[in-house]
A and B are shown apart, each in its own frame.
Chain A
Amino acid sequence: MRSPDGRLGELSVLHMSKVIDALSILLVLGAGLAFAMGVAALGERRDLAALYWLAVGGLVLRSAVELLRPRSGAR
């Protein structure tokens, strides 16, 4: 029979995984929003702001990718 501590740990891991999943979804949506703000800034002739938001979008997407990076060397 599994100990209560073990079950609690498993539940905590499960919750943590769900939080990470939600965070990765939010990051992708945030990246889309940042890209949209970048394109909108381009239309308003705010070039520096456009570049800033496009760079933010790229960084946010990179964070989402890193959150999903599978275990390296696993076979």
Chain B
Amino acid sequence: MSELGAARTDSGPPPPASPVPNALRALRERASTVLPGLYAWLTTVALPSAQQRASGATRVTALLALVSLLAAPLFVSQRPVLARCLGIFSFLGCSLLTWVLLGAGLLQNPNDPLLSALGAVAFTLYALGWGSLRRRGAVPEDGPNVIPGPPLQPRGKPQRGTPIVFGVIVACAFVPIFLAFRVAEPERALFAHAAAILAAILTITVGARVAMSVGQRKGLPPAGERLNSAAVPLALLALVFALGFLWLVVR
């Protein structure tokens, strides 16, 4: 009995591996992805496109989706990018195209919502199947694609003034939202609401960081360095204020 990767004792070159068992093995290894995908394809793509009213193009896209689904596992180990392109983008794209081409014909069996729900669950399982788990003992930070940065700070008790600072900032962030309700014209009001919500999100996001950093020294550069890093936006701000003042005077 031999194990995978064990040294061969017989002489001569190894016989070329047949592509068909390789393909079957790849499909078996990716069964957790292929089987839910196959079920999702059958219930939500194949059944609606098999009806008489469906056009030829619909059947072609449905078939392309199936081909993508079955071809993706064959490339997982050798060409993972191609495999993901086939398994995710091509399969989902062709399925989506099939639904678009079907139009109203997609509701071929409105009395059986269970089938559609199960198809949706199968699509969820298929998506989960394309995820990958971390290898045992692997350190994510050792990966070549890790963006360098400061280590995350452990959870700790916030400073005494943090809730007050954060509360004031949140209250301040809500002011534009209230003011947006005072805009009367519909088009202008829509823009005002969008701008106010965006402003509130930005203010609260930055405000949370500011509130948490009050009194903290860990992970932050020295005060002079912090001031230097903000020099460019502060100078721009001074310039904008000067322009505004000039505009007021000229007007």
Chains A and B belong together in one complex: yes
A residues neighboring B (CB under 8 Å): 13, 16-17, 19-21, 24-25, 28-29, 31-33, 35-36, 38-40, 42-43, 45, 52, 54-75
| Closest beta carbon of chain B to A75's beta carbon, Å | 6
Residue of A nearest to B199 (CB): A35
Beta-carbon contact of A31 and B206 below 8 Å: yes
On whether the beta carbons of B168 and A13 are closer than 8 Å, the reply is no
Contact across chains for B180 and A39 when beta carbons are under 8 A apart:
yes
Q: Is the CB of A36 within 8 A of B176?
A: yes
Measured as residues with beta carbon below 8 angstroms from the partner, the interface class of chain B is 35 or more
Interface CB pairs A-B, < 8 A, 6: A17-B217, A24-B213, A35-B196, A35-B203, A43-B179, A67-B230
Find A64's partner among B188, B196, B206 (CB 8 Å cutoff): B206
- Could you say which residues of chain B place their CB within 8 Å of the CB of A33? 172, 175
Listed residue (B150, B192, B225, B237) with the most chain A CB atoms within 10 angstroms of its CB? B237
Inter-subunit contact B206/A61 (CB<8 Å) = yes
Question: Which among B149, B172, B183, B210 has the greatest number of chain A C-beta atoms within 10 A?
Answer: B210
| SS class, residues of chain A in contact with chain B | helix
Contact of B223 among A20, A62, A73 (CB under 8 A): A20
Give residues in B with beta carbon < 8 Å to A: 148-151, 165, 168-169, 172-173, 175-176, 179-180, 182-184, 188, 191-192, 195-196, 199-200, 202-203, 206-207, 209-211, 213-215, 217, 219-227, 229-230, 232-234, 236-237, 240-241, 244
**A-chain residues with CB within 8 Å of residue B220 when the two chains form the complex:** 68, 70-71
**Quick check: A13 and B223 within 8 Å, CB to CB?**
yes
Chain A: CB-nearest residue to B179: A39
Complex CA distance for A58 and B240, rounded to whole angstroms: 12
| Cα distance, A70 to B213, chains bound together (Å) | 10
Q: Which residues of B contact A55 (CB under 8 A)?
A: 240
- Is the Cβ of A39 less than 8 Å from the Cβ of B227? no
- Please, how many angstroms separate the alpha-carbon atoms of A16 and B251 in the complex? 40
Most buried by B among A17, A24, A28, A65: A28
- CA–CA, A56 and B175, complex, Å: 16
Check B219–A74 contact: CB distance below 8 A.
yes
Query: Are A43 and B195 in contact, CB atoms less than 8 angstroms apart?
Result: no
CA distance A38 to B194 in the complex (A): 12
